[in-house]
Structure 1
């Protein structure tokens, strides 16, 4: 029988994240009381095979049907494989895989059954993090900002700073660490900046049979096509005030904008679009941040990082520069959020998702045998 989740004190939480880049599952342990980061624990990565990626890609943008069922099977099996390698954890934060996101119309869909996973692991699982936020008028994304606030406190930041996650979609969090709690007005501002790695990854896969532009080498050989960049920045999304969020395929027409370009110019242009979207987004910050800390796969692309550094007035640094792990920050975020959900603390607020009031999203599922024993 698993022990009850303690109501106070620190917990050992295991978070898992499968992002819109569709590269694999990140899993990481975090020790926290839901407020302060006490320590970072071990982590693991489980890559998706080409066959698994094909199944997930086929399900993107779909809300139901055989493709979604097949994607669910892949997500559950892959997560179980990596999560069962950890022991001595109090609970698991399971994000699942976002297949479709349209918060103002159809809602948001993350596949993967947390109740099934709780039974399989024998540990309480917190999941379905986004639905409650959407039901209360929020965008349901991004959800990492409350964790970014804790990270800013952990690294001892004294001035406002910004975190930029460059996954399939880019999202920005402005943090003022002088506030006592993340849900207070002025402590956070967060939103999706625009497409990030997804269009470049899709281009590389379609044209060259490669999963991504490793080291930015293809983009390095090309030139940004300014006409395509201007058309991209004319999209109404960039004029919309935050909070705001995107689905992975909301800018799928970007590929068409570079359709006539050679491989190198197309990669350079899509990379330039990602950087330009971030620059547009930075204008929404209440004041210039002291630094921009970059996490996610995009920070490994030197061409993208150089574009950001050249266009912004603040230092642009990977999160490793302040002792954080950019490969695992999203997984750690869901470990942190899991503890907050379990303790009834908010996980989003008006300035991060546009939700009407600070809300703690998420469902806590206990292993069936344990739940029956306590009934």
Structure 2
């Protein structure tokens, strides 16, 4: 099997824009990471997506598009096509074979066996002139899985690619987006993965509610506050944390009710502590403590989340940023979608019983051709 050059497109739970990345891969252990970029949504469009989350709660069938979801789906797809065109214009020597397209998650209810990502793969293929692999979560759910997380197959390939100095197995990849998820890669066997709890979403909502900003840049607001331990305990008392893995979250599964009476800075600092301690609490569901934690996603830029995680694992493990081991913490999920597109095209498993709870390893995705 020769290598394929794939573009990965990711618009995650932070809803701030489109991450795009290139990977050349066989869909197995060969991973050659290429260029990456980010195309931001403007504030008005981001607000439309946030409103769509409320509308999407009324969906009874995953093909339904109530309200303006159909229009929004088309616009999101066109935004992605524009991002691909701009990216290819910036890298004219690039000759991609296919695109891995995530779309925008607007509803995720694993207990109902339903996940909805808006984004039209057929339209994206026509707009870009490239084959598109999309809707990669649904087949996992049809086989009893949670539909998330899907990145662990890529994390396992990255773990195998680490240099000798950083191949400290077992390793745990942590992605801190709107929701945080972890992938535990053992010395041998399939990865173990699950959503660990709130990531940036609650902090972003809190900051947006009380300031004219959409996030706490570099944790500056949190830096003026203190951790309110009683509130941290209230969040970590959620039944979510006692559920066995695999498990996954919707962005709306946690809210701001416990911090509503706090000062702005205290709320931001406390929510950062919640994110970090929720990540570390995942150790209870792992066969052993990781020797190395590799942190990716936007939340790695919040020094309080990372600092609290370092404090929590001190003595048992080491916490490094993705960049510390030669990876790109901003592009990792987009890279994963490129990698998964190649795996899907080859019919290789995207998910495993240990990552989503599916009954057996399964592939997935739909293929759209221009």
TM-score by length of 1: 0.91
Counterpart pick for 1:169 among 165, 179, 182: 179
Find the aligned partners of 1:200 and 1:13 in 2 and give their Cα distance.
33
Secondary structure at the aligned position of 1:187 is classed as coil
Find the aligned partners of 1:226 and 1:198 in 2 and give their Cα distance.
20
Q: Which residue of 1 aligns with 2:7?
A: 14
Find the aligned partners of 1:58 and 1:17 in 2 and give their Cα distance.
20
Find the aligned partners of 1:47 and 1:15 in 2 and give their Cα distance.
16
Structure 2: 5+ residue stretches without partners = 60-64, 89-93
Is the contact between residue 223 and residue 265 of structure 1 (CA under 8 Å) also seen in structure 2?
yes
Find the aligned partners of 1:188 and 1:99 in 2 and give their Cα distance.
27
Is the contact between residue 12 and residue 90 of structure 1 (CA under 8 Å) also seen in structure 2?
yes
Instruction: Give the alignment of 1:23-62 within 5 angstroms.
Output: 23-61=16-54, 62=56
- Tell me whether 1:130 sits opposite 2:137 in the alignment: yes
- Tell me whether 1:110 sits opposite 2:117 in the alignment: yes
Q: Which residue of 2 aligns with 1:370?
A: none
Q: Per-residue deviation at 1:36?
A: 2.1
| Offset from partner CA, 1:60-108 (integer Å, 9 cap, x none) | 1413322422431331121111112324100000000000000221500
Instruction: Give the alignment of 1:60-75 within 5 angstroms.
Output: 60-61=53-54, 62=56, 63=59, 64-75=65-76
Find the aligned partners of 1:136 and 1:211 in 2 and give their Cα distance.
38
| Offset from partner CA, 1:247-286 (integer Å, 9 cap, x none) | 011012xx11111111001111111111111111122221
Q: CA RMSD in A?
A: 1.2
Is the contact between residue 37 and residue 151 of structure 1 (CA under 8 Å) also seen in structure 2?
no
Find the aligned partners of 1:256 and 1:55 in 2 and give their Cα distance.
23
Aligned length: 351
Is the contact between residue 9 and residue 20 of structure 2 (CA under 8 Å) also seen in structure 1?
yes
Moved more, 58-67 or 286-295: 58-67
Is the contact between residue 113 and residue 146 of structure 2 (CA under 8 Å) also seen in structure 1?
no
Is the contact between residue 168 and residue 291 of structure 2 (CA under 8 Å) also seen in structure 1?
no
Counterpart pick for 2:191 among 188, 193, 196: 188
Instruction: Give the alignment of 1:244-323 within 5 angstroms.
Output: 244-252=247-255, 255-312=256-313, 313-323=316-326
Find the aligned partners of 2:39 and 2:15 in 1 and give their Cα distance.
11
Q: Which residue of 2 aligns with 1:91?
A: 98
Moved more, 345-354 or 269-278: 269-278
Q: Which residue of 2 aligns with 1:346?
A: 349
Q: Per-residue deviation at 1:46?
A: 0.1
Counterpart pick for 1:148 among 128, 138, 155: 155
Structure 1: 5+ residue stretches without partners = 1-7, 180-185, 368-375
Q: Per-residue deviation at 1:158?
A: 5.2
Secondary structure at the aligned position of 1:159 is classed as coil
